[in-house]
Every structure is written in structure tokens, then in C-alpha cells.
Structure 1
Amino acid sequence: MENVWMQNWPEDVPKELTYRLGKKPLHHYLEDHAKNRPDQIAYLYYGCEITWQELNDSSNQFANFLVEKGLERGDRIGLFMQNCPQYIIAHYGAQKLGAIVCPLNPMYKETELEYLINESGMRVVVSADELYDRVEAIRGHTPSLEVVVSTNYGDYLPSKRPYAFPNDFLFDKRVFSETYDLDDILKDYPTTALNRSFDVSEDVSLLVFTSGTTGRPKGAMLTYENALFKTAAAIETNGARPDDVWLAVMPLCHIAGMVMGVNIPVYSGTTCVLLTKFEPEAVLTAIEKYQVSLWYSVAPMNAGLLQYPGLKERRLGSLRRNLATSFGIPVTEELAEKWREVTGGCEMYEAAYGLSETHTCDTFMPADKVKFGSCGIPVFETDIRIVNMETGEDQPVGEAGEIVIKSPGVFKGYWNRPDATRETLRDGWVHTGDIGYFSEDGYLFFSGRVKEMIKSSGYSVFPEDVEAMLMEHPAIAQVAVVGVPDEVRGESVKAFVVPQAAQASEVTEDAIIKWSKEKMAAYKYPRFVEFRSQLPATSSGKVLRRLLKEGSEA
């Protein structure tokens, strides 16, 4: 369809995107802040104030450490931490070298870590020390992994804090003979800049693990330009201001959390309040104390805060806009109106539609023309089509089809997976595997997923990934995994198991669930197990998950 959505383009948003300092990697913007506003606060972390100069110096020190350890441009570096300043330091330090950042969800267990480290050939992992035991357990099975850096969240926690740090992440500092301590690195290494040159359009800076349309996780290769484009677009379309204060709660290891918590503050030079996890009291106190004006949340966070005791007495009037994602609970007009009332006028609406392969934020919601239930309209320089799955032809307005996208945010392909790349990326268009449609006035509506990926607690769960791990159970002969509706998580994982004949009478559903809980992240392990004598399959042997899913929802 022609760009009918331009009729809804906000008057206060420019129609063309320009970059504040030109087309440069985001760490060049960080260096500019260190030069021109060195003492301004960049991040606030439970009362710890980190200036632009300190952030730039620390990332330089980490980059110099990597150089001394023999790291080179294009090497992969995993970040295995909860939200913390160390994550941001390591992220930009690696990219200043030209290395590729690989976010690792801190919920990953050993089997998942081993697969992803080997899949990407990571040479370095920066791990929170409370997670290091998982890294240590698989070091003998990850030949590419040469250097491990450990860190403790307490290294950036002041003795007096305006709100409590989460107790479940408060650990005594541990010292490991086989790791390097990041705190020591930031004391011992020089702050001198590396001054490397970059091809922003071609050089890969980020490897985000995703399913694409099928299969176990693959690394989506994103460039410096992908990150710059989507960051600048998100700032402009959402009306961010130079004096805004951002609140970052969403996991930095997720692409959307990364845009909001890692990229936007550095591009814009605005202060960001960083929290390790969502806790109602910490969120409310942070908004009050630091006059937070912009927040990105998921709808259940807002719904939970609306039930929080004494909420109406809290001073939340600084909040101007709250970008939110529907998950489990949709972002409805009713929810937005309740949030507006308790905050004294904060606008709340759906943040965007996007995926890892496009560095997310492919759409935005015009603040002056919010259409609840939709994902908004395409951002700058972004073409979105709805195509017939069989013919590839554009669907008429209002008719559903596959969402395909072309923009400067589109990834370069999957790491070492040319076949998967050809399947998803065709003539510059990302075939998302998602179903949607456009309304007459150009708003995108998301209908569902063609791919069989499961969305559990906001995380992507790939059936093949869970199945591969379940097949390590000695009592399982065959398994298939689907998502089933869950009022809290959105979807939960259900496993259909054909047991080994010799153990069929002994193994139980609860035993498999317990075993899985020990092996997999909390959002990923199956909550339900059903035994079958056989699984439905095609003549070629491909399991028909669709039939299993339909049977579970009947």
C-alpha cells in the first residue's frame, strides 16, 4: 500500500531523520558527551552517580584490556549479567574495539550457555559473579572461550541507597583464580581511546540470538548503523527532549531494553535511572526522587503498580510519556486512562512493533492520534508490506498476511547460517513470519505468529531449542513442544513426550518438569507434560506441532 500512514504523522515529528552528530557509531556519541559535558550524570544506579567522563573512561579501560588479551575486530564477547553499569561499560568497551557484543540472558542455564557460546564462537564472557558457576561448568565444552571477566553488582552500590537493591541479586563479592575482576581492570588499565575506524553500514556490532522463522537460536548480525538508526528514530518519533530523564527497567539483554537503556541515553546525552529489575517501590521512588519523565514498561508492570498500596499519594507528576508493550495484559484505553489519572496526565500507549532482525521499533504510535489495539505506523525510512503467504503479492487493506519489512534497521543475516538468512532476508526484505494487517488509515495491527515460537513472560522460546534439551533426558525417546495459553505468562511451554519403552512405567510428568527446571531458564522449562505413544507427523517424519497445539487448546 502507498504510505497512507503519513496522514497520521505527528506535526511535531520531523518527516526526515537526521543524526545529531552524523552517521557514527553510538560510542562516538559517548565520547562527545565526555568531551563536552564530562561532569553531567549519565546513569543513576541505586544512588550511584556515573558521569559521562567516567562511563567513557571505563569503557576505554575495558577496550584496552581486550586489546592486551589479544582480542581483535569481529571477535564475539558475551555479556552475562543483570542490568547494571558494568553491562553498559562492557558493551561500549567491546564496540570501541570493533568486537561484537553478544547479549546473554542471565536466566540461561548451562546447556543454553554452552550452545550459544559454541554457536557464535565467543572468545570472552563478562559474567556477574553470582552466575559464574554456570560458566565454569561448561568451560571444558566451549573451546573458543578464552577469557572470563567476573563482576559484582555491589561494586557500583553506594552504602546509602534511596531505595533497596533487590535482595535476590545482593551477593558477597567472590574472587575466582580463573577469571579477571572487572573492578581491577577499571583500576589498572589506561583510559586512552583506541581511535579505531568503522564502516557503520557494514561492520557488525551486535549478535542477538533469535529464532528467525524456525530452528534453534541463531545470531542476528546487526551493524552500527542499525543501532544508530533505530535509536535516533525512537527518540524523534516519541518526542524525547534534551532534559528528559529515562527510567530503564527492562532487561538490557533484550533488544528493546537495549534500545531504551543502553542506546538512547548515549545518543541523546540524557540521564538514565537504571534498575536491576522491576520492583514497585524502587520504581515509584526513582520516579519521585529523580523526576523521571519517560519510561518503557510492559503492561503488567503498570497494572501491578495500580494495585500498589498508597499509589495515589505518590508524586508521579514528572512522568510525561510511558511507552508500553502488551504482554499478558494488553495496553488498553482503560488501562491508559487509569495510569493517566494516578500520574496526573502521563500519556501511555503501545510502544512499537519490531523484532531482533530489524533492531526492533519498526513502528511508533503517534502520541496525538493513539489507536489502541494497533502497533502504530511505520517509522522513518521504513516500508512495511502485508503479503500473501503463498503468492507473495500484497494483500488488500484490512486483509491479513505476512508482515515483511525493509529499512536501514534490517540485519545483515544470521551468523554462519546462509540458508536461514536466505529464508528470512529476501531482496532486502525481512520476512517476519508474523501475521498482521493495515487499517485504512495506515495503522499496523498484529494478529499472530506464523512461526511456532512461544512467547512466555515476554521472552521468545523456540520449540526446537527446548526439544533439543529435553532429548538429553534419558527417559525421553521423542518430544515436541508447543505453547499453551497462560493468563500470567501469556504462554507456557507444554511438552508432548514419547518415553523410552524401558522407562515408560517409571517416569512421571512431575519428574520431567523438575529435571527441566534445573536445566532451563524459568520462562522456558515446560510447565505441562503429556505422555503420548507417538507424535503426529508428516510422511517425511516432520512432527506436526500444529495438531498438538490444536488438541491442547480444544
Structure 2
Amino acid sequence: MSQEKLWYQYWPEGIPKTIEIPGNISVDDMLDEQAEKNPDLLAMAFHGKTWTYGWLNDKVNRFAKGLQDLGLQKGDRVCVNMLNMPQFVIAFFGVMRAGGVVSPIVPLQKAAEIQHQINNAGAKMLIIMDGFYKEEVKKLMDENKIPTIEKVILTGLAEYLGKAIGIIGALIGKIPRMWFWPKGPKFARFQDLLESDPTPKEVKFDTKKDLAVLMYTGGTTGLPKGAMLSQYNIVANCYQCESWLPEIDLGKEATVCALPLSHIFGLTTMMAVAIKTGAKMILIPDPRDIPGLMKELAHEKGTIFAGVNALFNRINNHKKVESFDLSSVKYALSGAGPLAEEVQTKFETITGAKIVEGFGLTETSPVTHANPLEGRRKIGTVGFPFPNTDCKIIDPNTLQDISQPGKDDDISTHGEICIKGPQVMLGYYNREKATKETIIDGWLRTGDIGYIDDEGYLHIKDRLKDMIKYKGHSVYPREVEDLLYMYEPIDEVGVIGVKIEGGEETIKAVVSLKPEFVGKVTPEDIKDWAKENIAGYKWPRIVEIKDEIPTTMVGKVLRRELREE
């Protein structure tokens, strides 16, 4: 049997194979409609305070009017740099309602990275948390290194906290803050814009052509590229995500926004989908504070919790894990990178919550696949394509389709995963060559290697450019990482290929240890365990122990940084 729609054999009951996606709705229309229908539903929760959809929509209208009064016009790019806080949600929808394009900046970005994104996007305005401005952007402004910026709109994390919490937090250094804000014609205050009349000029969108988000995505090489996501792309993925959820109780769902909303996974699945479904967003500014995250989740009764391998692993290994209450969680979703089976099993055993793994990328808004939330999930896979989404495997060298179903031990059936669907980006901003190389006849080349098995489930093996060639064998770093997680002392791990004498490539594992094993476990101990438990051509010949493994904001191991080190 060929790969043609193999997934329909075990398609989850009650989930449509195709859905109708309106072509005349913009992203901010979803908020406007929700607020009109259900103005008193809770939209956001932040450190004990809550706000309704009616309140949020009013603030978005006022902010949009304020932006228009500052000169924002249709198509202008606006960079947004802040943590998960009410201002991010207001700014995101406010920019769109004013006609602008949002280009979120991940909070971990440093000055040179911010400079590249702003200049590449040609951003006209920057909406930024004051602490980030002080640390990373002030010098860029002073030296005129981001000349396209005409207005900087400043806000502070403490603005929507209780006054005492804000002052105390700033004093002890937990809340980034700039005590004295710059003044002058290039600067404005977030709260001042919210004093505008709630009457922005209406902007009409061609939803399939006009951009909603310019999301920068890094690769294994080169500077980040701007993925152009249209209004239709984001709306389509929201409708697709909603269709995959078996039961939505209006007014009773709460998404746990622990992943940064500046990352496409958090932006779409936790924020935009919440708006579409009328859920409450539980805004978590610091997901590394595990007790704080768990406290907010329990207090606000989070029902949909999206995370990544690193986050679930931190919860598993926290010393207070037995006291955490996740009883309200109906669905835990894992994406933005591989989920180690050891991490998944331990999390489910400890919490009683079920994790469902999915797949996507920035270029697809982001979700393309997921295991069924109810029904037959297959551990170690990312499930089926979403409604209206197609998937195929190609030979990355010849670009020819691999038609036969894949098997884990048959590398000839592995190839590059390609996606076609309404969530696929328009292309890379000002990168025509890269766009043509990535999107061929409507099919997006993901750069990921995998296979579709005989039941239609997609298996992800690794990034094409991360594959290691060891003495003629193809070794997938992700697979070696998953196996190493089975060794109890290991907390986090990244596996890379490194060149050795003679130009050959060998396998290196960089690991961090759980606190109780620091100083007690050596690289030789890890190699000895690996020799006994991993195939001879896969186990790491070099092991390095570090205090911390470099990761992205959403917990992906930065293999490029490991190679550069």
C-alpha cells in the first residue's frame, strides 16, 4: 500500500477529515467576534488578576487607535519584545487591528540578534518591556543601529501586577525594570495609548495575501529568516487546532501559556486558539519557575497545557513534584522538538495527565500533525496530519516521492517530510531563493527526516542537517538523546557529530546531570552505560559534562552552539 492517506485507516472518531476555513476572517476578527458573543467570559489570568473578553477587546481597540494616531499604516511591521503578560496580548491584536504586521522578538535575544531582526523586517515601531530596552536596545538606539524604528513604546511587567508585588519584585531583582524611562519624540508609553478613543479606523485585509505575523526562525546555519505568515495561515491553523479538540466547554477551558507567546507554538496554540475557542489564557512570564507555574496552573484550573520536552523534564525532576496538582489538565500537548519516551512516561506516571505529541514548524503556523487526543495514540510518533493537511516523504537528493510505508530499521524508507496545507507560509521575507528551495509546487520541505508507517503515523527521526555519518552508518542524534535519557543521572543531553583526526565524523554527547549526581558521575560512567545499552555504531565516543545545556526559549537543544563550542 502506498503512503496515500494511510492515516485514514485509524482516523480518530468524531474528527472531520476536512473542515471549512473562512477566507474573509482576519486574526483580530476572532477576538472581536468572541468579545461580541461572550463579553463577560474570562480572557486572561495573570498572578491572581483576571480580565474579560469585553475588557480585552476594548483595550485592543484603544491601543490600535493609539498606534494609528502615531502613524502606523497598513503593512507596517511592528516588533514586540516582552514576556507572557497582558500587554503582549493587547499589543499583538492591537497591531493587527491597526493594520500592522507583528514580528515578535523572543525575550532571550541579545542586542545583535534584535538588531538583525528589526533591520531585516524594516520595523517601524518597537513595543518593548522596559527591562529589555535597558539591557539590550538602549545602546542600539543611542548608536542609531536600528534606524527604521520611528517609535519605541515602553511598558513594564509590574503594570498589571498588584502595586506592592510590582515594587517588591523590582527591588529584589525578580522583575526586570527600568526606573527612569527615556523621553522625547521617539518614545511613548503603553498605558498612554490605552487612553485613546476605542474607535480605530477599520482596515480591510486580503487574508490570503496580507501578512499577520513575520516570525523569525533560525536554522542550522545563517542568520534567522522571516517566515511570512498570512492572516489566513494563522486563522486556518486555529480552526484546525480547534477541530482536533474533541470537547470544548465554553467558559470552562484555560490554556496554560508557559511557552513564550513570542514563539509560534505558544502564539498559535495557547493564545490564538484560546481566543478562537473562548478559553482563558493563564499567562506565565517565567516558565523556569516550576513551583510558580504549578501554583498558577492549579489556582486557575488550567485544562490545556502545551509544553516541550525540557519543561516536562524539569517538572519530573523537581524536588516538590509530588505536591503539584495537575488534576484539572485534560490535555497536555508536546511539540517544538522531540519528546523523549522516558520523559513522557515519567510525567504521565507522576501527574496522571496524558501527553499527546505533535509536530509543526514556524513555516506552518505551526501545527501540521498530532496524535489523537481521544483514541489511538502511538507513542514515539507525532500522529496524523491535521484536517486539510497532506504529508509525503521524499528522497532529499532526488526529490522523488518515497511511496512505500516506512519502517524504523529500513533507512531506505526514510526521507524528508513535506507538508501541504492552508497553514503553509507565503515564503521567507526578502529571501526569494530560499523560498523557491523550500516550497516546491505548494509542498513545503521541512528539513526533517522521518517516515510514515503502514498505519499512517508520522515518525520524526531528526533534522536532515543534524544527521551524523559514523563509519558509513546514518546516526540520528535525537534517537541517541532519547536513549541516553534512560540513564538516571542525566538531566539534559544534546548529541552532535564532530570531526576528528583524518576528517572522519564521530558522535559526541554533551550532558548535564541531575543535582544529586553532580560530582559523582563521570564521562566514563556515561560511556560505559552507553556501550552496554546502545548499538555499537550509535553510542557516543566523546562525552562532555556541562552545568547547563544551551537551549532555545522553548527548550530545544541548540546543537549549533554545541558544535561551535
Which residue in 2 is equivalent to 1:298? 308
Q: Mark the CA change 1:156 to 1:484 in structure 2 (over 3 Å): closer, same or farther.
A: farther
Contact 1:123 1:146 in 2 (8 A): yes
The Cα shift of 1:273 comes to 0.8
1:4 aligns with 2:6: yes
Describe the superposition over 1:243-275 as per-residue Cα deviations: whole angstroms up to 9, x where unpaired. Answer: 221111001111101112321111111111111
Contact 1:43 1:273 in 2 (8 A): yes
Which residue in 1 is equivalent to 2:436? 422
1:359 aligns with 2:369: no
Amino acid paired to 2:415 = G
Query: Whole-Å Cα distance in 2 between the matches of residues 483 and 36 of structure 1?
Result: 57
Describe the superposition over 1:486-506 as per-residue Cα deviations: whole angstroms up to 9, x where unpaired. Answer: 3359xxxxxxxxxxxxxxxxx
Q: Mark the CA change 1:190 to 1:301 in structure 2 (over 3 Å): closer, same or farther.
A: same
Q: Mark the CA change 1:65 to 1:148 in structure 2 (over 3 Å): closer, same or farther.
A: same
The Cα shift of 1:429 comes to 1.1
Q: How does 1:319-330 map to 2 (within 5 A)?
A: 319-325=329-335, 330=339
Query: Whole-Å Cα distance in 2 between the matches of residues 113 and 232 of structure 1?
Result: 32
What SS is found at the alignment partner of 1:169?
coil
Query: Whole-Å Cα distance in 1 between the matches of residues 432 and 507 of structure 2?
Result: 28
Contact 2:227 2:429 in 1 (8 A): yes
The Cα shift of 1:384 comes to 0.9
Q: How does 1:281-320 map to 2 (within 5 A)?
A: 281-320=291-330
Query: Whole-Å Cα distance in 2 between the matches of residues 484 and 228 of structure 1?
Result: 42
What SS is found at the alignment partner of 1:118?
helix
Query: Whole-Å Cα distance in 2 between the matches of residues 211 and 528 of structure 1?
Result: 15
Amino acid paired to 1:438 = I
Which residue in 2 is equivalent to 1:373? 380
Tell which deviates more after alignment, 42-51 or 207-216: 207-216
Amino acid paired to 1:148 = V
Which residue in 2 is equivalent to 1:138? 140
Contact 1:255 1:356 in 2 (8 A): yes
Q: What residue ranges of structure 1 are gaps of 5+ in the alignment? A: 459-481, 490-516, 531-554
Contact 1:222 1:411 in 2 (8 A): yes
Query: Whole-Å Cα distance in 2 between the matches of residues 256 and 415 of structure 1?
Result: 20
Q: How does 1:392-407 map to 2 (within 5 A)?
A: 392-395=399-402, 396-398=404-406, 399-407=413-421
Query: Whole-Å Cα distance in 1 between the matches of residues 164 and 304 of structure 2?
Result: 25
> What is the TM-score with the length of structure 1 in the denominator?
0.78
Which residue in 2 is equivalent to 1:446? 460
Describe the superposition over 1:325-380 as per-residue Cα deviations: whole angstroms up to 9, x where unpaired. Answer: 3758x342x5444434443x422121x21111111111011132111111111111
Amino acid paired to 1:254 = H
Q: Percent identity?
A: 29
Query: Whole-Å Cα distance in 1 between the matches of residues 459 and 140 of structure 2?
Result: 43
The Cα shift of 1:452 comes to 5.7
1:109 aligns with 2:110: yes
> What is the TM-score with the length of structure 2 in the denominator?
0.77
The Cα shift of 1:439 comes to 0.7
Q: How does 1:155-304 map to 2 (within 5 A)?
A: 155-159=159-163, 168-171=174-177, 173-178=179-184, 179-186=187-194, 188-211=195-218, 215-241=222-248, 242=250, 243-278=252-287, 279-304=289-314
What SS is found at the alignment partner of 2:114?
helix
Equivalent residue for 1:390, pick from 397, 400, 406: 397
Amino acid paired to 2:75 = G
Amino acid paired to 1:17 = I
What is the total number of aligned residue pairs between the two structures? 471
**Coordinate RMSD, CA, aligned:** 3.2
Query: Whole-Å Cα distance in 1 between the matches of residues 67 and 507 of structure 2?
Result: 41
1:16 aligns with 2:40: no
Which residue in 1 is equivalent to 2:77? 76
Contact 2:103 2:215 in 1 (8 A): yes
Q: Mark the CA change 1:315 to 1:142 in structure 2 (over 3 Å): closer, same or farther.
A: closer
Tell which deviates more after alignment, 304-313 or 107-116: 304-313
Q: Mark the CA change 1:122 to 1:310 in structure 2 (over 3 Å): closer, same or farther.
A: closer
Q: Mark the CA change 1:13 to 1:160 in structure 2 (over 3 Å): closer, same or farther.
A: farther
Q: Mark the CA change 1:210 to 1:312 in structure 2 (over 3 Å): closer, same or farther.
A: closer
